[in-house]
Chain A
Amino acid sequence: MKWLFYHLLPADDYLYTMEAKATKKPKKVFVDGPISSEFIGNSIAKHAVKTEIGAHNIFLGQVRNDEIEGKEVVAIDYSAYPEMAEQVFHDIRESAFAKFDLTCMHIYHSLGVVKTGEICLFVFVSSKHRQVTFDALHYLVEEIKAKAPIFGKELFADDTHVWKENK
């Protein structure tokens, strides 16, 4: 069976087609609250069966304790314009698959309250070789920061807040 399958279609093309198809249905990006290290670990473990992969690359965004006008940020409360975000993430994903020779790609972002030191963004790309993963990861994180309609309320210990803006 395996031989027949490879004979019918080059393995690389087949994988690309499978991944491209998988991106057609909306993938779940938003996670309620912080992204746990267990979730990240499990996500890595799931790729053990994809033995054609030679390089993984991961970006983790962590909530930072910025000091604003003498007050320290203790958490960020994330919200989004969900219908638009779904479209934007779909477009970013499609463009990354078109630009880079990726085997797979996963994007998760928190909604709701994420405390300082906790993870709010998890971007995970895999390919045969390392360079593609560095380039794709950089592209994806910048695109997400610039284009995804996600908003962040920076919360202080005294229950006041300011709205965060990506630089």
Chain B
Amino acid sequence: MLEEATGVSKETLEAPATLGELKAQVLQQYPALQKLTFTMAVNHAMVDDATALNEGDEVAFLPPFAGG
């Protein structure tokens, strides 16, 4: 879903201080994402926007869950 909107599946970025800042940066880069619902995970855990980012962290933008 998000891949369809942005045309990318993986990208390496210079990390800002927090997840919220990264989100703002990515939304600016890919305006198509603004209309979509997504959540974010850092290193495979769901966290909030205030979470601090460190070098090497894996940040995932996840579409709505649809398991089951």
Contact = CB atoms under 8 A, between A and B. Distances in A.
Interface string B18-50: 000000000000000000010001001110000
A18 interface: no
Given A81-B60, A84-B44, A144 B1 contact: no
Contacts, number: 65
Contacts of A84: 41, 44-45, 60
Contacts of A146: 65
Interface stretch (A38-46, A93-101, A148-156): A148-156
Contacts of B66: 76, 78, 150-152, 163-166
Contacts of B1: 151, 153, 163
Interface residues of B, number: 14
A67 interface: no
B64 interface: yes
Most buried by A among B46, B65, B67: B67
Contacts of A144: 67-68
A87 B42 CA distance: 13
Contacts of B37: 165
Interface of A: 61, 76, 78, 80-81, 83-84, 87-88, 109, 120-121, 141, 144-153, 163-166
Interface of B: 1, 37, 41, 44-46, 60, 62-68
Given A150-B65, A163-B1, 5 more contacts: A84-B60, A121-B68, A144-B68, A145-B68, A166-B66
